[in-house]
Structure formats: C-alpha cells, structure tokens
Amino acid sequence: MAVNQGEDTVQIIKDAVDIAEIIGEHVSLKRAGTNLKGLCPFHSEKTPSFTVNPDRKTYHCFGCGEGGDVFSFMMNFHRLSFVEALKELARKYQIPLPEKPLNPQELEKAQKREALQSANEKAAELFHQLLLSDPGAQKAREYFDKRGIPEAITKEFRLGFAPDSWNFLVNALPKQNSTIEAAREAGLIVPREKSGFYDRFRNRVMFPIIGLTGRVVAFGGRILDDGQPKYMNSPESPVFDKSRTLFGLYQNREHIRQAKNCLVVEGNFDLLSLAVHGVRNVVAPLGTALTQAHVRSLKGYTDEVILLFDGDQAGLKAAMRSVPLFLSEQVTARISVLPETHDPDTFVREFGREGLHKHLKSAMPLPEFVFDKLVAQYGSSVAGKAQIVAELQELIKAIGDQHLQRTLFVSHFAKKLDLPPQQLLAGVILPQPATTQAAKPAVAQGKGEAQLPMKQRQLLEFLVAYPEHLSAFLEAGLEEIIMNQFGLAILHLLKRQTDFSGGPEQLLELATGPERSFISRLLISTPSHPEEMREQMAREMLRWLSSTSLKAKKERLMKQISEAQHARNEQLLMELMTQKIQMDEALHS
C-alpha cells in the first residue's frame, strides 16, 4: 500500500503545515512586510531574494526563479519524491495518511528505499544494544570511556559496536525481517567471491549517520585493533550520498542556528568530544573534502563557517580546496589552526569549552589564511609569486567548468598578488563545456512572459491570484485577446483548475517550468486585497476586456466582410453586415 495522494489529503497537509517553519529550519528568514526573506538555498547569492509568503503558503526566489509550495521545497531541498515529502510532512505534523495501491514500478521503488532505511535502522539498533549491554562489547565500552564519551552522548548519537564476526549481521538481520538483498544494497554486508555474504563492519565502534529526516542512512566505523582501514564508511546507496551528508548535522542543527556559526572538524570523535564539553555547533564531513553541497546545506543554518584544523599539510590543502566553494556560495569562512600535537578532541579535553572559544576568536578569514601560508612558504619575490601562482593553478584546474567559482577565485587571488587575472590563469587549460549553450542567468521574468502585452499580463496576474473570477472573464472574451504562447499556457492552467476552494496555491500543483515560476512569483508579490477592492478591480477589468474583445471580433469581422465583397458573395455579406450592426450597437452601449 502507498499514500493516497488525493486532493483532499494534499490539502489537509498543506493547510496544517507552517511553510515558514519548514523552510526556516534550513534558511535564516527575516520579516519583510507580510513576507519573510532570506538567502536562496538553491543558488548562490549575497543579497536575499528568496521570499516566503506564510499566508499563501508559497515561496519564490526572484534571483533564480525557483518557487512553489511546501511540497516542492521538501522535494527540491531534501531530494525527496512527492510521496516521501508528503509522508515526512504528515509525520512531522502527526497527520494520519490514507493509503492506496501503487503501480508495480512505484511499489518496487518505494519498497527498495524503505527496505534500505529499515535495514540501516535495525543494524543501528543491534549495534547500539551490543555496546550498551553485551559482555563481548566490553573493549568498545572501555574505548569510549578512554575517549571521554559518556553514556548520555552514546545514547543521543546512537553509537554502537560491530563485533569481530564475519556473519553477525548476515545472521541477525533476516531475523529482524530485513532481507539479505536490502542489507547488501545498504552496504552492510558484502558478497563473497563464490557464494554467500560477510559483514562489512567488524570489530569496530560504530557511528550511525542520520539524514535530515531523522533516519539512519549509513554508518562510519573505527577499528578497535591495528587493522586497516582505520576508519570505514558505508558505500553510497539510494539513501546515502556522502557528498551531501554531514555527520552530526541532524543532532546539532538547532545549536548551529542559535550559535549563528558552525565549526567543521575532520573526525567523528572530534565532534563527539566537543559535544561532551558543550560545544554543539559542529559537523564533520564523512571522510571526504567539503563539497559545494555541504556548504549549501550549512548555508541553510548559518552565515559563517569556521574550519577547525590541526594545521598539518593535509589540513592546509583541504582549506585551499574549500576556498572557491565558500566564495561561490557567499558564505563567510574562517579557519582556526590548533597548536601542534593537538586536534579538536585533545584540545577541548585539555583546555575546555572556554579555552576553545578563546582560541576561535583568532580565527582568520579563509582566503587570507591560505594566501598568508603560501607567502610564508614561498615569499613575495617574483620567483615566490611564480610558485604561488603554480599552487593556485592546480586549484583552478580542480574547479573545472564551475564558472562562478573560477571567476571569484581568480579575481580574489589576482588582486592579492597584484597581478592581472589573465596572468594567474596563464598555462591553465580550461575544460570545454559539452555544449555552447550560455549559462542560465538569474531571472526574474521568462522570455515568453516578457512578450506578453501589459494589459494581458495584468488580467492573467489577477486571475492567478483570484481564479474564482475566471468564468466571468472567459464569458467576457478573454480567449479572444490572449494570443501569446506563454499567456495561452497560463490560461490553460487556469481552465484546468476546477476547484477553487484551496485558493490560488493549487495552481502550483499543475504548473511546471516558466509557468510555475511566474505563478510562484505572483503569489509572493501580489497583496491579498479586501473583497470589496477585488470586486471593483474585477469590474474594471471586465469592462476593458468586453470592449477589447469586441474590438478584436470586429477586426476579424471586417476582414471577413472584405473577403466576402471580393468574392461577390452577397448572402454571406448580408449576414456579416448584420453581425457588424449588432456589434457596433454593443460597442456603443
């Protein structure tokens, strides 16, 4: 069975949901009149153009044109299907969902995703219970004690222990009603060369990785002996994308929002140790360098990120690679390098929370830190600048065809080096895009929309906001004057909307492409007029529409009369002249 996606179900959830609350979990919103504004989570911008209208329950970005309702936000931001977004909102607001049968393809996809999430959840619970009470997990408990991780943190982060067994999960998960295939695709078990399976995680303390919906999507594991690899993460799966996922973000998201900045550390234990000492505005990438998706995720919670590194050469390289990401996302980034022999775990255990906060006050802006390190390493002579340029060129190559990132990076460091940007780019072979199509500019208005005559646009804007007037406008001859393809597409959407009880927001469910952007922008920018004013506006537009449509009809009639005269068709000519007389009377009435 699956969720019934009928209009009643969708409307019940939409009515119950506070769109400002849902979007506000990821975007810092500030009041702007009747609307709320913030930085768009779907494209890079410095000045807020992302607008939420709580009354209409819609959002629209005047920069990139992205817009819609709470369902489209959940789908686009969290990469959910419509059904998953529906379920998540229903769960959050405790709304029971009716169910209906799925078609075979939908059923297979939904079952696979649910099976993987269920297998991860059950594995997490098995690992967690072993750590808490199983005699065989004593060395794991001692390890956590040695690292200073108390039981409260163990339970909050659902930490666990994978025993030194080749078939613990292979045997245990089927007893928990999870299939071997689901466990394999989730990365919990691995096929043997000939037949059968074995556990991926063995003799490791386990860190469940929790997605933003609160369910376990993957695991990280740290070996308890001298085996290799020391750290291991789940492979990517239909429910886990490491380039978009950050350890601790789910548990710490509200702390990050309250602190108005976020620390990024390299290891899971660094994050846990900081949590033990009351530092909760922290995340950790999953064994990879920061990605643009990571930075964009953090941008939903804070405007400032502080990289907390131990200062080795690898840390410097990681900091350099992240500069273009923060520049392109317009997120302020600083870096705090710890003293030699320290990492975040050892530092906070020795100096405590206050000592860390004192150290963070000296954090440098990330681009300046990178530049100063390169100057300290190579000097500022001509030869030194040549070495710095060579280092930066490697980063420029790594940026690839991300045009905005490359432009910002080059202009920033060229200014620092007192060099023209072209000289910094010298010797770099930029990858050619697959097509010659120009990059999509930030848009506030589509091409088709721009070709709409002003008065026709005003009519359609009014009908989008107040679709209950459509029948009167059609009767007055609306279809006689709308000839533009974009206008016809909007009119077609209006005619498809048969039930106006849900308000103009229902149009968003029917619209796609530029029409959807047009509608979402109007729902944000059009004020909610009192009923008396709406009726007055409707009467004035109907008078203009009736007159204009009659004139359009008369123009076509005069053309037909001319053709009838040319053909010497007297009977048709008499009929057309009669129509003209009636039309003249109507125009002057």
User: What pLDDT, on the 0 to 100 scale, is given for residue 449?
Assistant: 65
Q: Does residue 478 belong to any structural domain of this protein?
A: yes
Q: Does residue 227 belong to any structural domain of this protein?
A: yes
CATH number at residue 207: 3.90.980.10
Query: Among residues 46, 72, 100, which one ends one of the domains?
Result: 100
Q: Does residue 207 belong to any structural domain of this protein?
A: yes
Q: Does residue 80 belong to any structural domain of this protein?
A: yes
Q: What is the pLDDT of residues 176-234, one digit of tens each?
A: 999 999 999 999 999 999 899 999 999 999 999 998 778 999 999 999 988 899 999 99
User: What pLDDT, on the 0 to 100 scale, is given for residue 431?
Assistant: 42
Prior bond of 229 cis (ω within 30°): yes
Residue 132, Cβ neighbours under 10 Å: how many?
Answer: 15
Residues 113 and 209 in one domain: yes
- pLDDT over threshold 60, residue 66: yes
Nearest to 375 by CA among 366, 386, 365: 386
- The total domain count for the chain is 4
Higher pLDDT, 447 or 131: 131
Q: What is the pLDDT of residues 324-336, one digit of tens each?
A: 788 767 788 899 9
Grade residue 487 by pLDDT with cuts at 50, 70 and 90. Answer: confident
Grade residue 318 by pLDDT with cuts at 50, 70 and 90. Answer: confident
Q: Does residue 76 belong to any structural domain of this protein?
A: yes
User: What pLDDT, on the 0 to 100 scale, is given for residue 586?
Assistant: 64
pTM exceeding the 0.75 threshold for the entire prediction? no
Q: What angle do CA 289, 290, 296 make, to 5 degrees?
A: 165
Query: Among residues 100, 127, 162, which one ends one of the domains?
Result: 100
User: What pLDDT, on the 0 to 100 scale, is given for residue 429?
Assistant: 31
Grade residue 407 by pLDDT with cuts at 50, 70 and 90. Answer: confident
Q: Does residue 296 belong to any structural domain of this protein?
A: no
Q: Is 261 exposed, middle or buried (0-12, 13-18, 19+ CB in 10 A)?
A: middle
User: What pLDDT, on the 0 to 100 scale, is given for residue 236?
Assistant: 94
Distance, CA of 390 to CA of 406 (rounded, Å): 15
Q: Does residue 430 belong to any structural domain of this protein?
A: no
Query: Among residues 76, 100, 124, which one ends one of the domains?
Result: 100
- pLDDT over threshold 80, residue 348: yes
Residues 6+ away with beta carbon under 8 Å from 331: 295, 298, 299, 303, 304, 305
Nearest to 66 by CA among 85, 39, 32: 39
Residues 117 and 91 in one domain: no
User: What pLDDT, on the 0 to 100 scale, is given for residue 485?
Assistant: 82
- pLDDT over threshold 80, residue 124: yes
- pLDDT over threshold 80, residue 253: yes
The residue range of the domain holding 209 is 104-240
Residues 18 and 135 in one domain: no
Residues 452 and 577 in one domain: yes
Q: Does residue 249 belong to any structural domain of this protein?
A: no
